[in-house]
Structure 1
């Protein structure tokens, strides 16, 4: 059972952004990294997959079912898209913003939270290691903590597909590792499909089960990180050379370099 995109085409006006884009099946429990230069169409792909944009052509299928046949509400329950800008602009606690995300599943947004909703929020907060910050105003947290809270808003809705647009941008090294490890563990534990758009090829190699290289509105290459990142399609996509090696700890390292 998996997520699959077939022959997606989308234009902004007369400018083509997605051009016959397709992916192989992305299985549940697998963490995929979507890499590619700015302007290659990664965010547009996510918005089409989430139903926020309607492609001119093609399908987005989950477990063999075309998601375009669902209502927007039904689709939103299955696919959660977390955009890059998650700026904290509200004076609410971590618990409250995650609870609001949970309550948005219910038609009418009931004022009182059910015991099941409260339990779900508490479970996600514990899962993400946010218990010590649950009562803190979201605006007072570090960037990494706010990003984990945003991921908590996604997970508490119990989606089948999680699409995260550059969740490690502007984070320090430790927080990048924390966030990526948390996403990978949650993906496996919950048996969901997760796709993360990311620029850091070493992070993609270290944490992803699969890497998809996007260039000019198409998937240029996809597969296991060690195979894909060594492929000439990566060098062509970024106009750089790419050197791969394993560290003493066995971690796959990716070194892009400018060819002269």
Structure 2
């Protein structure tokens, strides 16, 4: 039996899609004429409810209900407006859908802040990892870009985010490649050992898709993870203060970066 290609239709990356995110923007503006994010310095996507609760309680941001899928808030940071979106689900498809909607409404710079599992023994819960490339082991990215083993984030946000974190004395930050997969309960020992041996640092569910969508739409993106557990020396995820604190540090640094408060 011949193995089916993926995506099934060859060369689809060069073809226009029928649904256009601009249709979503037009639909939203028909209901909310002022719906635009073009005045925002950027957007941060968060995946953990605690991070979104932190945003709500600390900044009391304006909610923009009905603009995109998920909870969209607009806050002021050093005089600039930043969009923050959460509560839209986990994984590459959920992130891609929200990204398309944010970009259609005018966002041009995006940072995602989440958690990941470590593939390297020197990474500990509460460490931060800036993802500078991602293995494309999910499905979304292959509908946006031609096949390749990995993808790098578009733009200069990754380097700037790493520098902003390293300038903080109390932060343990690393930069390196990640492995993005749609199947977190099918991460096998053989895969873990192979990817770890090549220097892959983390396993996550969104980064490759985020990089593919933003590259396709020609906007900048960066991805940051707080290490929450380990796949190499298997330690299941626990509720740890160090992980919560690292995620908040990453979020605050991303907000400062987009607002121009750090170099």
User: Does TM-score exceed 0.5, indicating one fold?
Assistant: no
Q: How does the TM-score come out when normalised to structure 1?
A: 0.28
Q: How does the TM-score come out when normalised to structure 2?
A: 0.28
